[in-house]
Structure 1
Amino acid sequence: MTDTTGMTETTGAARTTVRDCVLRLCRDTGMTTVFGNPGSTELRMFRDWPDDFSYVLGLQESLAVAMAAGHAVGTDRAALVSLHSAAGTGHALGAVFNAYHDRVPLVIVAGQQSRALIQLRPFLGADEPAQFPRPYVKFSRQPDRASDVPAVLAEAHRIAMTHPRGPVFVSVPEDDWDRPAEPVAPRTVHGAFTADPEALAALAARLESCARPALIVGPGVDDEHALPEVRVLAERMRAAVWISPLSGRSGFPESHPLFQGFLPPVADQLAARLEAYDVVVALGAPLFTYHVHTEGRLFPATTELFHLDCDPAQAAWLPTGTSIITTLKPALAQLAAQVGESDRKPPPLHPTPAEAAGDNLTPELVFDLLRNRLPRDRVLVEETPSHRDALHARVPIEVTGGFLTTGSGALGWGLPLAVGRALADRRRLVCVVGDGSALYSVQALWTAAQHRAPVTYILLDNSGYAAVRALGRRIGIAPVPGTSIEGIDFGALAGSFGCPASYVADPRDLSAAVDQALALGDDAGPHLLHIRLTGTGTDTALYGSGP
């Protein structure tokens, strides 16, 4: 049995085990909610499972990782994930890929067969566990000795929480948990670091002298809670503000008069958007994120690019511009202090699309309702690739942390991400998800129902992978085989997982259905609103046809 100090009683003297030391470390670092899907090689980790820990079960390993990511974003702490050995880790890798690109701090602990069996290539063993999740983790290791497990986990946690934050991976043989070990203290992480003052002073001088500046806000701004500093700098300079291509976060109030919109993930279109500016400063942004190839320039020849980010690897591969390695909050505060109030003419106002109308139920009708009815402080999670541009155009995000999606594109992220994010603070959020995306991770509705996660799911059903069809049309491929999904009763599917659902296919019924779904309280648990689209909206022109 386990006593209140976390020590395990044995015949004879009491001793601390690896499990005792790891549980203590988890308490000290705030990782007492574990997301996982249990397997045989993790069982000894759960012996005498303490009452102050909670286990959130995902019915597939990628769901566990995505839910943990939502929880980490909501708590601003690393979240703990428990995976099975080779097979379970393999199932989870699509979500690990997302977490890595979205800089979400996760501590992933994977089971492994007993040390005595490893040389015999055992059933469900991982041959090279530390190599398996690379390159999409910041740190990956199987400790050489059982007694090293607590220290390796403490190191892993520190690396996960150091900017640029991200997932880490530790493989633990199953017999290590009962071995003796010494407790370790968490490594203190002070994550902020600032660039050379001379580099920032030179950038400030260039911003003072330029005629037409622009800021590009990347996901790093939201991740580092630097929105207030960006706003101050933008207003002092009267700079145009864009959001980087396919950003997994927002990072600037989208109704602000300086906001210009979202940059497209297409090289010639992106270059055309930015050629009006003489100086562009990208902030925590993977600026050159493209989805489709086009010939021509990557960046306007007459525009000078600066790039501020905490990731030296990101800076190293950028094809052009001057990079300054820094965390954003302190750097932006210094820049704002050195840049005077500008009398430049402000950029033109970003146009607001007209209210949608018509006899068909289109995504634009849904998004207009969300714009008018969704409280501005409510978190919006999105995974509807074919309608993302329309959502951005019609539903402005105003607050830090107000928007979450995948910044890397691996589907199945949004639905479970919303569960973990809702469990972080127990405040109702809205998740807009496509039918194709939902089917990658629909089992997460079961977890949402079990934990009464306050999530309103708005499922846009266009009967297939419409984004793939649109890209096919763009490059002259139509029809695209394998892109049709027909005949799925999402309400019945949700109900089978314990999640209440409603359905609407008539635009005359849409307003009442959305109002009812949004009005649910924080204690009401999840609800899925299945909307059968009868009009394609803007999915026929993904990314537009030009600048």
Structure 2
Amino acid sequence: MGTRTVRAATRELLRELGLTTIFGNPGTTEIPFLTGWPDDFTYVLGLQEAGVVAMADGYSQASRQPVLVNLHSAGGVGHALGHVFTAYRNRTPLIILAGQQLRSLLPDEPYLGAVEATNFPKPYVKWSCEPARAEDVPAAIAHAYHVATQAPQGPVFVSVPADDWDAETGKPTPQRPRIPGYGPDPDAIQDLANALDASERPAIVAGAAVDHDGAVPDLVALAERLGAGVWVAPMSGRCSFPEDHPLFLGFLQPERILAARTLAGHDLVLVAGAPAFLYHVYRGEAEDALPPLYLLSDDEQVLARAAEGTGIRTTLKLGIRALAEHVSAGDRVAPKPLVRPEKPAMTTPITAEYAYATLSEVLPGNGIVVEETPSHRNILHDYLPITSTDTGFLTGTSGTLGYSLPAAIGAAMARPDRKVVAVLGDGSSMYCVQALWTAARQNVPVTFVILDNAQYAAVRILGQTADGAKLPGTGLGGIDFAALATGMGVHAVTVTEGAALAPALTAAFNDSRPTLVHVHVDPNPTALY
């Protein structure tokens, strides 16, 4: 093979890996990578790097494919780090390709140079590299791809000096298929099957990794075979069990006492694809002991951190299928099905309960809900059941605000066959609001529903719960989201009366343009958990 530029060799590699849709915000150190852009590549431009990473995250999760992200040296990577952290918690296989100053300038710490570039995004990338030689750039990207796409998946980082792209290389980059999932230890699975067969009141706690691995149908079949009720793990970022199924029991709260109290009626709990457990607040140690726990996870860190229970390392689809082959069909009495609250009355101001119940009535059946309303998360669970078993629900597992508005754009680009709705708080929306420009530029039919209670209500409520008084920095208000959206090319309407909500949402779902619905809601939510 003759010589060619590193740029040409890398583009061949990206084609072979299917990484031709690239999300980015470029700077001068990226010019050599971008010059002569191929016609068969798509560059999705975002106006700020945090939104770029979140858009790529939503695209990757909805498509179930890795995605390349192009960022600018240290400053751009720094802007993006909040959502690199989110991508790490979301287990999203992003290959982050960042520019670096010319190699010849690096000894003098130049303008736009990234000092210790590979350390900057740690520990929230699985692997980080700046190749020692220009000719090693394609091999580094191939290595990054295989690390990112191995379970547990996650972001990786490659820093490339600007002059590397024009260097010549004759070095081929051998291609290998993605590393497949792996099964559990047979003896461990048999022990778990024996314990389940002996159990009288088993439960399953479903985590995000079940949907991430496309194993929701397998978990449904296992639950039905066992006659076991299914809870959702605290703060789960995806829907891993259909919420209209008769075995669905609801959501565990991210607090020890409440989680233990909820599970106290079971004599065995299988935790599939989640930590045991993720908590947000501490109100003391639980008086109720947790039942015997068994954990299926592909993440060795999750298994190592578990304070209780028996861990079995496996990717979720293979682990659940192996377990289903060994357990006996149960003749247990089915648990009582979950009873949801009735739709509340229409009031002014609109309550979050009414808003979510109305959204549930008009949302298309295969819709994707991308959520970021921290003060209303339990209300969403009560009034907006997620029934789609294929990426029907996405949210930022890290809790870093600003994720869901741009992530919804990426999800809609990846799945044009489905309607995507982003349900957002007013505070959350402002972190990456400039992503609306990309929605208009790409003309993706996303519906952005902003529930505006004029405050950082989650901070206020938790502060009051902890006896905090006179907390500063929680009041918002006065933001005209319709004007912001219109200024960036997105159609928008404002809703203040309950009677106008369903027509506004229906019109938005039927519109082929991106649309923002600004809903003024009751500013007095009183509880999170």
The superposition leaves residues 456-484 of structure 1 with CA deviations (integer Å, 9 ceiling, x where unpaired) of 11111110111111111111113321011
Paired residue type of 1:506: E
Query: Which of 130, 133, 148 is the aligned partner of 1:160?
Result: 148
1:404 matched to 2:394? The reply is: yes
Paired residue type of 1:384: T
Give the aligned partner of residue 422 of structure 1.
412
> Which aligned pairs between 1:129-148 and structure 2 lie closer than 5 A?
129-148=117-136
List 4+ stretches of structure 1 deviating above 6 A. Answer: none
Give the aligned partner of residue 436 of structure 1.
427
> Which aligned pairs between 1:524-539 and structure 2 lie closer than 5 A?
524-534=512-522, 536=524, 539=525
Post-superposition shift, 1:507? 1.4
Count of aligned positions: 525
Worse-superposed segment, 425-434 or 379-388 = 425-434
RMSD: 1.3
Query: Which of 443, 459, 465 is the aligned partner of 2:456?
Result: 465
Does the 8 A contact of 1:308 with 1:324 survive in 2?
Answer: yes
Give the aligned partner of residue 502 of structure 2.
511
Paired residue type of 1:83: L
Does the 8 A contact of 1:93 with 1:133 survive in 2?
Answer: yes
Structure 1 length as normaliser, TM-score?
A: 0.94
Does the 8 A contact of 1:224 with 1:328 survive in 2?
Answer: yes
Post-superposition shift, 1:356? 0.9
Secondary structure of 2:447 counterpart:
strand
Give the aligned partner of residue 175 of structure 1.
163
Worse-superposed segment, 332-341 or 387-396 = 332-341
Separation (CA, whole Å) in 2 of partners of 1:300 and 1:147: 60
Post-superposition shift, 1:375? 1.7
Post-superposition shift, 1:225? 0.5
> Which aligned pairs between 1:62-101 and structure 2 lie closer than 5 A?
62-101=50-89
Secondary structure of 2:108 counterpart:
coil
Worse-superposed segment, 338-347 or 304-313 = 338-347
Separation (CA, whole Å) in 2 of partners of 1:213 and 1:534: 40
Give the aligned partner of residue 4 of structure 1.
none
Does the 8 A contact of 2:408 with 2:422 survive in 1?
Answer: yes
Separation (CA, whole Å) in 2 of partners of 1:256 and 1:469: 35
Paired residue type of 2:50: S
Give the aligned partner of residue 355 of structure 1.
343
Give the aligned partner of residue 528 of structure 2.
542
Secondary structure of 1:323 counterpart:
strand
Does the 8 A contact of 2:439 with 2:514 survive in 1?
Answer: yes
Does the 8 A contact of 1:154 with 1:187 survive in 2?
Answer: no
Give the aligned partner of residue 11 of structure 1.
none
Does the 8 A contact of 1:376 with 1:397 survive in 2?
Answer: no
Give the aligned partner of residue 455 of structure 1.
446
Query: Which of 226, 239, 259 is the aligned partner of 2:228?
Result: 239
Secondary structure of 2:526 counterpart:
helix
Separation (CA, whole Å) in 2 of partners of 1:428 and 1:300: 42
Separation (CA, whole Å) in 2 of partners of 1:300 and 1:238: 24
> Which aligned pairs between 1:6-405 and structure 2 lie closer than 5 A?
15-181=3-169, 182-297=171-286, 300-301=288-289, 303-360=291-348, 361-399=350-388, 400-405=390-395
Separation (CA, whole Å) in 2 of partners of 1:337 and 1:375: 35
Percent identity over the alignment is: 47
Post-superposition shift, 1:302? 5.8
Paired residue type of 2:333: K
Does the 8 A contact of 2:346 with 2:499 survive in 1?
Answer: no
Structure 2 length as normaliser, TM-score?
A: 0.97
Gaps of 5+ in 1: 1-6, 8-13
Paired residue type of 1:264: Q
Post-superposition shift, 1:300? 4.6
Post-superposition shift, 1:210? 0.8
Q: 1:306 to 1:442 in 2, by over 3 A?
A: same
Secondary structure of 1:119 counterpart:
helix
